[in-house]
Amino acid sequence: MITPSHVTKTAIPKLMNNVMANIKIPLPPLCVQEKIVKILEPLSVLSGEC
């Protein structure tokens, strides 16, 4: 989760690249990712995105 401590304290708050590189983003296990792809891939084909 990105918290106020991750952004700069300037007039326009921004998230610096070096800070972003250290933020951990949890991902589901590969088997779950593959199931998601199996569900979404046919929809991409139908919408003309593939």
The reported pTM is 0.50
Spatial distance between the Cα atoms of 4 and 2, rounded to a whole number of angstroms: 7
Q: CB of 37 within 8 A of CB of 44?
A: no
Spatial distance between the Cα atoms of 22 and 28, rounded to a whole number of angstroms: 19
Domain chopping of the chain, boundaries? 4-47
Q: CB of 41 within 8 A of CB of 50?
A: yes
DSSP 15: B
- The residue with greater pLDDT, 29 or 50, is 29
Residue 8: which pLDDT band, with cuts at 50, 70 and 90?
Answer: low
Spatial distance between the Cα atoms of 18 and 42, rounded to a whole number of angstroms: 37
Q: Note the pLDDT of residue 5.
A: 67
Q: Note the pLDDT of residue 49.
A: 65
